[in-house]
A and B are shown apart, each in its own frame.
Chain A
């Protein structure tokens, strides 16, 4: 394991044969996954491929119909509560209350994980460069500012695993650049798993890449072992496969 990596296990995520059944349709169809601790995994695939289903499972918002899932060395199906405080999620939805201020939002979410740590909240607000707007209601923020604040929200519990679900959705290029910069600043040995439709961005940021199609893993490899052009062609071919 690398120095500074925030997991007692060599793998932050280990999944075997994950199946998610929605009525007669399979959202995930036997997904096997091993994400090394400290890695940045980007997940690509067409709409309906099962990316968000997989991410929701990793966020413990949904249980697999079958299969095994271990996160940060803990069995996620046996003891999800032990893991929740170690996972953060940044989505295209901000998960912030528009009528509360930035500070109130962070204090509220922080209080669900433990005694709110005011110094840490101030530090997070400075980190996402919103300390000057801390007392303004979130609904007055631009989309980019809300997304920056959602990074701070996802970090209030100091997670070891950070999940990103289409975080660039609705961001202009400048806001997306700022978002990238912030993600770079908060890597800090954490494991990141990102679902993205933006092949260039997702590929640039990752250490590992995965393509999902029709609920199955098409390819999952370390970036160093991937031929970028072949990966792009495979991605485009997969997107052409459409939904399950």
Chain B
């Protein structure tokens, strides 16, 4: 057999290969996407049942931010658990670790694919959330600004979630363990995003400083936690 060994590819080429593999696999199976969308729809149904009896006196807008983020966090937990199932079922992660790939590149590719899948789910679920719970509500003109906490929050959830789901892949009861680790760790991000989203929904004059403060806190959280995850990933996957 002809001998063949080419030079080591760039980190970007490896990142692209890892990301495209995840996208390709998901496009073929739609396993993660379908389960996340179905789960999100079920959560919306439960919200609907829970809020069906409360009457008109309740201002849904005042807690819609919390509802929305609870939906995103629970849906992302399901996706994060599934995102590594392909990697572990036949030892594929080991196959990747055998190659001369910087472990931080593996993290970045997995976090990007998680971010893309979660964002795709949000694109479907968000209009339904508005349709079911906010169509008759008195929304402020600042409502479109929820896009900012959504982007920052989703990026943080994907980054931290990728690290934590890698840490739990070889553990027993990893689904529960991921939730136990994930929710306390992302609590500051969740709090900031709920605050910013609620402020944007309500649009009360004079409180808008809180929106920017919350977004700044969420961004700082993303930067710090993603940098920490980037740095720690080698220890996590090589442990």
Contact = CB atoms under 8 A, between A and B. Distances in A.
A113 B86 contact: no
B86 A188 contact: no
A97 B21 contact: yes
Contacts of A114: 5-9
B58 to A, nearest CB: 45
B5 A111 contact: no
Interface residues of A, number: 41
Interface in A76-97: 81-82, 84-85, 87-89, 91, 93-97
A113 B100 CA distance: 7
Interface in A50-73: 59-63
Interface string B25-48: 100110000000000000000000
A95 B84 CA distance: 13
A40 to B, nearest CB: 18
A212 B8 CA distance: 35
B142 to A, nearest CB: 43
Contact of B86 (A91, A97, A158): A97
Given A95-B92, A188-B1, A100 B101 contact: no
A100 B24 contact: yes
Interface stretch (A115-123, A195-203, A227-235): A115-123
B98 A84 contact: yes
Given A120-B4, A127-B1, A99 B28 contact: yes
B1 A98 contact: no
20 contacts: A61-B238, A81-B100, A84-B99, A85-B99, A91-B91, A93-B90, A93-B94, A94-B91, A96-B92, A96-B95, A99-B28, A100-B25, A100-B28, A104-B24, A108-B17, A109-B99, A112-B99, A112-B101, A113-B5, A113-B9
